Structure 1
Amino acid sequence: MAKYLLVDGFNMAFRAFYAVKELRRSDGFPTNALYGWVRSMWKLLDDQKADHVTVFFDLGGAQEKLELLPEYKANRGETPEEFEQQVPIIKELTRAMGFGLVEENGVESDDLLAAYAVRLVESDPQATVQIVSADKDFAQSVTERIHLLLPPPTANPRLGWRELDPDGVEAKWGLRPEKMVDYLSLIGDTSDNIPGVQGCGPKTAVKWLTEYGDIDGVMAAAADIKPPRFRELLPTLQERMDINRKIIGFNLSHHEGRELDTGNLDVDSLCRILQEMEMKSHHKEALERYSQGELF
């Protein structure tokens, strides 16, 4: 039974960047994200014991979604320069540690990751997938064999890593995975600049979708919907809801027929990078981990 870890690269790299502060090489080059990245990836490998690990990175330009919603993600501030400086080295480390790496201009990494997750379990009846991300959009991808592995929340790190199956998604958000696209479409997503139904929060969205099934059912019942203040508003938002569904729902058609890059360990390159970055404790651990030809 093959077990795959598919990692939301920037989601995890940003967590590493903000988790470790003021760590630098002797010449001042920032290394905090590098330190956190290697540490968190080794922790994942030790805990999950996956057969294959692939990391997905964005290269920018989500063309399909920008055509539907030009202001998509337009509210995001500039990426910190010190993070940008470390990204190329994070990618070098990723490959040297033996992980696959997938990225493509004009296609969001979320869509690529979700497409590969579905394809892996469809092509191998014994395969299981864990999607490593704090992004709630991936809740829509959860099945009995595709689980979401949530990192510890920043506000409550003692919770630790949490693996969500379909029941876990329902326990966390109040709905099954197949209703998550409609749920997120109704409440919107301020982090991605996706407007939802103004005034509709998570509890209202769960109530509507539980009672009426999906957005189409909600719209059909608009004249009788509760609270009454939404009865005139909802019929005006049909086009917005259609757009939200297309943006939030993953496009699973990318890279049909292309095999997943699962990487190859390169201990020499890994040790060289760690030495160049003056990451002495990580270099020592790498030598210990891979001295016997250990492949995860």
Structure 2
Amino acid sequence: MAKYLLIDGFNMAFRAFYAVKELRRSDGFPTNALYGWVRSMWKLLDDQKADHVTVFFDLGGALEKLELLPDYKANRGETPEEFEQQVPIIKQLTRAMGFGLVELEGVESDDLLAAYATRLVVKEPDALVQIVSADKDFAQSVTERIHLLLPPPTANPRLGWRELDPAGVEEKWGLPPEKMVDYLSLIGDTSDNIPGVPGCGPKTAVKWLTEYGDIDGVMANASDIKPPLFRELLPTLKERMELNRKIIGFNLTHHEGEELDTGSLDLEALCKILEEMEMKSHHAEALKRYSQGELF
């Protein structure tokens, strides 16, 4: 059985950036995200023993979603300059470490990742795909052969990595994967500037979807909904819910027909980058990990 790790690049890179503080090259260039990135990727490889690893990055401009909701993600602050400085090198490291890299101008990496995950398990009936991300949107993609690998929560790192299959998704959020788009549409997503039903939190959304099946069922039974304060509000939000579904649900048509880039190791390039970034311990580990030093 082939095992694929599909990694949400910026999600993991930001975690690396904030996990390691004040690490710089001798000339002042920041290297904290680079340090954390390499360490976290090696940790994933050691723990998951995947056959193939591909990282997905955003190039900017979620055109389809911005057409639907011009304020999509408009509430996000400026990306730290020191993080942006390290992104090109993170991508160089990713390729040199032997990982595939996928990015497409104007298309969100989440859609690309979900599309490839879905097609992989159709093309390879015995394949197992693990989506590596803390983004709850990926819960909608989970099946018996597509799992969500959640990194340790920042607030509780001792919890460790968690692999969620369909039962795991239901245990965590109270609903199966096929209801996650409707769940997220109802509660909204403040991080992406997607408004939900005002006053509807996770518990209420789970209750409604458990009782009525989906948003259509909720709307059809609005006159009987509890709490009663929502009975007049819900019918006014029908168009918003349809919009939310389109934005939150993944477009699985991107890069149709294209083979997944699974990469190939370039030890010489990797060592050169690590030396240039003055990451001495990483350089030594790379030699030990990949070649036992015989090439140098």
TM-score by length of 2: 0.99
Q: Does 1:33 pair with 2:33? A: yes
Read off the aligned partner of 1:281 and give its amino acid letter.
Answer: S
1:180-216: CA deviations, max 9, x gaps?
0000000000000000000000000000000000000
8 Å contact from structure 2 (residues 186, 197) kept in 1: yes
Deviation of 1:247 after TM superposition, in Å, equals 0.3
The equivalences for 1:76-87 within 5 A come to: 76-87=76-87
Aligned to 1:217: 217
Aligned to 1:131: 131
Aligned to 1:51: 51
Deviation of 1:253 after TM superposition, in Å, equals 0.6
Aligned to 1:258: 258
CA distance 1:262–1:191, shift in 2 (3 Å) = same
3-state SS in 2 of match to 1:74? coil
Aligned to 2:16: 16
The equivalences for 1:1-296 within 5 A come to: 1-292=1-292
Distance 2:220 2:284 in 1: 63
How many pairs are equivalent?
Answer: 294
1:44-91: CA deviations, max 9, x gaps?
000000000000000010010000000000000000000000000000
Distance 2:104 2:255 in 1: 10
Gapped regions of structure 2 (runs ≥ 5): none
Distance 1:101 1:132 in 2: 14
Distance 1:131 1:260 in 2: 14
Deviation of 1:174 after TM superposition, in Å, equals 0.1
3-state SS in 2 of match to 1:147? strand
1:165-187: CA deviations, max 9, x gaps?
00000000000000000000000
Distance 1:119 1:4 in 2: 12
Deviation of 1:293 after TM superposition, in Å, equals 9.4
8 Å contact from structure 2 (residues 287, 293) kept in 1: no
1:143-186: CA deviations, max 9, x gaps?
00000000000000000000000000000000000000000000
1:244-280: CA deviations, max 9, x gaps?
0000000001111100000010000000000000000
Read off the aligned partner of 1:46 and give its amino acid letter.
Answer: D
3-state SS in 2 of match to 1:130? strand
Gapped regions of structure 1 (runs ≥ 5): none
3-state SS in 1 of match to 2:13? helix
Distance 2:125 2:59 in 1: 32
Read off the aligned partner of 1:190 and give its amino acid letter.
Answer: T
Give runs of ≥4 in structure 1 deviating > 3 Å.
none
Distance 2:27 2:257 in 1: 46
Distance 2:287 2:173 in 1: 43
Read off the aligned partner of 1:129 and give its amino acid letter.
Answer: V
Deviation of 1:291 after TM superposition, in Å, equals 1.2
Distance 1:58 1:197 in 2: 29
Distance 1:63 1:90 in 2: 25
TM-score by length of 1: 0.99
Distance 1:267 1:110 in 2: 29
Read off the aligned partner of 1:266 and give its amino acid letter.
Answer: D
Distance 2:112 2:232 in 1: 38
Distance 1:255 1:219 in 2: 35
Deviation of 1:119 after TM superposition, in Å, equals 0.3
Distance 1:231 1:170 in 2: 27
Distance 2:3 2:292 in 1: 23
1:229-253: CA deviations, max 9, x gaps?
0000000000000000000000001
